[in-house]
Structure 1
Amino acid sequence: MSKKLLKIFSIMLVFMMILLTFSGCSNKNSSNSEDSSEKVVNLFTWANYVPDDVVKQFEKETGIKVNYSNFSTNEEMLAKLQAVKGSQYDVIICADYIIQVMGKQKEVLIQPINKANVPNYKNIDSSYLNQYYDKDNKYSIPYTLGGQMIVYNPDKVKKDINGIKDLWDPSLKDSAVLLDDPRSVIGMALTKLGYSINETDPAKLNKAKAELKDLKPNVKVFDADTPHNSLISGDTSIGIMWGSQASAALKENPKLKIVYPEEGMQFEEDNFVIPVKAPHKANAEKFINYLLDGKINNDITNNIEYISVNTAAKKYMSKEYLNNKAVYVPQEEFRKAKHLEDVGDVTKQYDLIWSEFKQQ
């Protein structure tokens, strides 16, 4: 081979190596970016929180497959999201206070949602926007609202029930079901004392601890998932539960009564968020937009029986739904609403109070 040909061959070889290097970098970069061609959306939320019929309808209309994974608690969700560093999932539906927690972290695990890609955002009732956990709804879009209420059997409970404080009445000994949830139950004691359910003053929390000691003889069951079952079976006669659970109880026993606590109901606003490294962000926004359609949102609400935050859904609501006190809560109750907030390091004291209360 001549020197001239060898030189040309060497130049070509170097050129090919450069091309391969850039190609490898390009492929590497593309692996970290959204694969817009993949017709998939990875959903992470509570079990049955998006009805199967709605999921199947979305898949049929868009050709996008929904991979549904579920968690039991907001804290479990956060731990898993931290473990994958904000990747793997495309849409997460979680509670308000945990969004506040995520927003305070050094490494933000969620990304801004492009509202231009979610035109049905306009259907959200403005009353539920710009809340404490995400002032401008930069990272979150409301999905549903849950409210805690008192449900009791008037055949067994002869006392007038008006609020949280009434659960301490001695006549209710060994008859109450409470949510197996520290913030909910400790919040009840704080409410009885006239304090915030997000109290951080150690002295006030110790007073709440003393109140719980007095409450314990009335508690028969702790149940976060199915507290209504003990009311239906007759094992308990009064309890605190979420609206969807209260509705299930009334369907089985129409004699049961619902009371909105006069001190104000505890509400939890669940929201859509998109993880910072979501592999299919465009599909995530399509999914969110689909669930915010008025008719679809009404179908969801009728199925899961949480409070609708969607104004476009109201025209589809049945009289049965509008008359259901468990899931259609009057607007005036929202003015007294109590929302959980992050209490930071004081969480340790809450945990200690809860542990001692359960062991009494």
Structure 2
Amino acid sequence: MEFHEISDGMSEPVRKAWQRSLTSGRAALSRRTMLRAAALTAGAGTLAACGIPAARTTGTGDSVANAAEDHSASEKEVNFSNWPLYIDVDENDEQKHGTLDAFTEATGIKVRYTEDVNDNVEFFGKVKPQLAAGQDTGRDVMVLTDWMAARLIRLGWAQKLNPANVTTAITNIDSRFRAPDWDPGRLYSYPWAGIQVVIAYNTKATKGKPVTSVSQLLDDPDLKGRVTFLSEMRDSIGITLLDMDKDPAKFTADDYDAAIARLQKAVDSKQIRKFTGNDYGQELSSGDIAAAVAWGGDLIQLKADNPDIEFVIPEKGFISSTDNMLVPAKAQHKTNAEHLIDFYYQPKIAAQLVAGIGYVSAVAGMQAELATLAPDVAANPLVVPTPEMAAKSHVFRTLTEAEESDFEAKFSKLIGA
């Protein structure tokens, strides 16, 4: 695509991780790998946006009046910020994106595609000053994880979508994704991809013994010191709450404290070795750790590289979340952005995207297209959950501002952050 340079704007650890991925195949570096690599530079300054135009002052910071003059009709472009390696690419040319190219061909709208969302908190820190000041961020579409998308909506920094421009999305969004508590009816956002939190283990490291529950991770003496949990609070706490027969969508502050205490006990006894981003992958594959709470998108590549890797959906369920497309306040090309969002809800386009990134799609009808395009991917329950697996999916409820501050502080203390 014109305007795209994949490595511009990356911090040095992120750039090096990306370069390493090229030597072992693109799929070896997932969106979550990039999240962890970016975390290495947290606090070291913001990352430069690649291809994003300078912000335009268009408002006063009023969180209600978040719209700007729409230049979509006269400026056939859209500025799209996403996570690194989170879109399909041409196998023969990393600079070409099939679905983005198809969008431009179908609409005449050029996409300025930027891979600068390396971490939710870091990205929020980058755009917050402009949004708070009522300024255009230079972005028309951004992809953020559900809890951060919820924050922007709560603050009045996301624009309500025009239903007339997202008719395909309204029709084709899978029923499971239609009504999150933070955006009922999907008035502001549509999922880009779904993320699953499951249990993974190395059969060689466990000597063939299956690992099937969080209780086993926390209590089995055979696993002592060879277990990792995730450094994402909602994922580790959520799956622990499920194991305690608590609903992550309805838990109380006391329930949260009980989950923290349970994990703290395992930390103190050295049952849990550490909390990680997805750098658990190498240690799990080598057998240095035996079992982990893991992200489904990572396990596809890990298992492809090492048949000793297995994953389990706990009987009590698993945590799922979404990364979501939304239009920020003061965006200059809102209509074009809505057309882009809508475009990705065509089943054929959704299938092409899923085949390229290996994450769950929210598009109904995508599976049939994917079965023709990439049968092996379509048969993988981490990409296309079976009905039985989908029934065990749970979401972590939206937190109030006070809860978010309190809970994050307690979790940070737990993991030593």
Q: TM-score, normalised by structure 2?
A: 0.72
Structure 2 partner of 1:150: 199
Structure 1 partner of 2:150: 100
Q: 2:325 aligns with which of 255, 268, 272?
A: 272
Structure 2 partner of 1:254: 307
Amino acid at match of 2:261: A
Q: 2:80 aligns with which of 23, 27, 43?
A: 43
TM superposition shift of 1:63: 4.6
- Report whether the alignment pairs 1:304 with 2:354: no
TM superposition shift of 1:200: 6.5
Structure 2 partner of 1:68: 114
Show CA shifts across 1:267-307 (max 9, x none). Answer: 00222211121111122122112222222211111111111
Structure 1 partner of 2:216: 166
Amino acid at match of 2:387: Q
Relative contact order (C-alpha < 8 Å, sep 6+): which is higher? 1
Q: 1:191 aligns with which of 223, 242, 266?
A: 242
| CA distance in 2: counterparts of 1:267 and 1:222, whole angstroms | 19
Secondary structure of 1:308's match?
coil
TM superposition shift of 1:313: 1.9
Regions of 4+ moved over 4 Å: 198-202
| CA distance in 2: counterparts of 1:65 and 1:286, whole angstroms | 12
| CA distance in 2: counterparts of 1:113 and 1:351, whole angstroms | 31
Cα 1:294–1:70 change in 2 (3 A) is same
TM superposition shift of 1:69: 4.0
Structure 2 partner of 1:355: 412
| CA distance in 2: counterparts of 1:127 and 1:133, whole angstroms | 14
Cα 1:128–1:203 change in 2 (3 A) is closer
| CA distance in 2: counterparts of 1:83 and 1:151, whole angstroms | 40
Structure 2 partner of 1:33: 69
TM superposition shift of 1:224: 1.7
TM superposition shift of 1:170: 1.8
Please report the RMSD computed on the Cα atoms of aligned residues, expressed in angstroms. 2.6
Cα 1:349–1:282 change in 2 (3 A) is closer
Asked if structure 2 preserves the Cα contact closer than 8 Å seen for 1:55 and 1:66, the reply is no
Of the two, which has the highest radius of gyration? 1
Structure 2 partner of 1:4: none
Secondary structure of 1:258's match?
strand
TM superposition shift of 1:166: 1.5
Structure 2 partner of 1:229: 282
Show CA shifts across 1:83-121 (max 9, x none). Answer: 22262210122222333333333xx11112123223421
Amino acid at match of 1:276: A
Q: After alignment, is 76-85 or 113-122 more displaced?
A: 76-85
Q: 1:333 aligns with which of 389, 406, 415?
A: 389
Cα 1:332–1:154 change in 2 (3 A) is same
- Report whether the alignment pairs 1:177 with 2:228: yes
Cα 1:316–1:34 change in 2 (3 A) is same
Q: After alignment, is 289-298 or 225-234 more displaced?
A: 225-234
TM superposition shift of 1:251: 0.7
TM superposition shift of 1:66: 1.9
Q: 1:55 aligns with which of 100, 110, 117?
A: 100
Amino acid at match of 1:120: T
Amino acid at match of 2:212: N
Larger helix percent: 1
- Give the percent of matched residue pairs that are identical in Structure 1 and Structure 2: 24
| CA distance in 2: counterparts of 1:211 and 1:341, whole angstroms | 20
Asked if structure 2 preserves the Cα contact closer than 8 Å seen for 1:95 and 1:268, the reply is yes
| CA distance in 2: counterparts of 1:117 and 1:202, whole angstroms | 40
Show CA shifts across 1:232-291 (max 9, x none). Answer: 232222111111101111111123211011111100022221112111112212211222
Amino acid at match of 1:115: P
- Report whether the alignment pairs 1:139 with 2:188: yes
Asked if structure 1 preserves the Cα contact closer than 8 Å seen for 2:78 and 2:109, the reply is no
Q: TM-score, normalised by structure 1?
A: 0.82
Q: 2:341 aligns with which of 275, 279, 288?
A: 288
TM superposition shift of 1:123: 2.2
| CA distance in 1: counterparts of 2:293 and 2:256, whole angstroms | 21
Cα 1:208–1:114 change in 2 (3 A) is same
Cα 1:214–1:84 change in 2 (3 A) is same
| CA distance in 2: counterparts of 1:34 and 1:348, whole angstroms | 36
Asked if structure 2 preserves the Cα contact closer than 8 Å seen for 1:265 and 1:338, the reply is yes
Q: 1:110 aligns with which of 152, 158, 163?
A: 158
- Report whether the alignment pairs 1:210 with 2:242: no
Amino acid at match of 1:241: A
Amino acid at match of 1:166: Q
Q: How many residues align?
A: 330
